[in-house]
Structure 1
Amino acid sequence: MEEIGSTEFQCPSDVFLQIIKGKCKTTLIVLIKKGRNRFGEMRRTLPTISERMLSRQLDELEKDGIIRRESFPEVPPRVEYFLTPYGETIYPIIREMRKWGYIHLEKQQSDV
């Protein structure tokens, strides 16, 4: 980090990337937005991520205020995840970023 005067300077883009970096975090945000917000549903949708890693990514998103976890007093217990109002602000950015990713993947395939 650079120092400007006596204040540390953080690049806003780097702050954004710190929040979304991690295994499947952007996909988790999209799944939750689309209503696939239970742990088991996310786990089945993302078979390449371990339960431990999925739990860790959800915990980090919750800690950063992007999602909230809601427990329902039922038997068996039910837990669902929702985007917070703050998390809703990041969704359009992630949607556009993913669109660009698909375009880039297509470009790579056509270049082969």
Structure 2
Amino acid sequence: MVIRCLEGGPCRFGELRVPLGPITPKVLSETLCAMERDGLVTCTAYDENPPRVEYALTPLGRTLIPLLDAARSWSETRLPALLAARHAGRRRRRGPAPEPPGRARAVDPAS
């Protein structure tokens, strides 16, 4: 999601938090630091008052955008099949419906 947010150009920390919804500042900060360490994001601090820091995708980080586009296209195309499989899996896990309370189950004497 951070890659998508930075796709349009550099952003400040507060600008990133808005589209990322409920992400905590700590998690966003850790994510940005990890992405910077991995060479996907640059962090530029400007000597201004108040201080300003901007995050931007590196050329390496931009190489992930086509992969994200492909994953989105795949999921949009296959969403109906994915949801059908999920629904079928839930039904299999639940098994037969339980007996209503107060009803005795028939016991097979051969078992």
TM-score, with length taken from structure 1: 0.64
**For the residues of structure 2 that align with 1:81 and 1:59, how far apart are their CA atoms?**
10
Aligned counterpart for 1:47 among listed residues 9, 21, 29: 21
Deviating above 4 A after TM superposition, structure 1's stretches of 4 or more consecutive aligned residues are: 108-112
Counterpart for residue 38 of structure 2: 64
Q: How many residues are aligned here? A: 85
Higher helix share: 1
Q: Percent identity?
A: 35
Task: Report the residue type matching 2:74 in the other structure.
Answer: W
Partner of 1:34: 8
Question: Following TM superposition, by how much is the alpha carbon of 1:101 offset from its aligned partner in structure 2, in angstroms?
Answer: 3.7
Q: Deviations over 1:53-105 (max 9, x none)?
A: 0001111111110111011111111111111111121221122223334455x
Which residues of 2 match residues 89-100 of structure 1 at below 5 A?
89-100=63-74
Structure having the higher Rg: 2
Superposition TM-score, scaled by structure 2 size:
0.65
Closer, same or farther: CA 62–90 of 1 in aligned 2, 3 Å: same
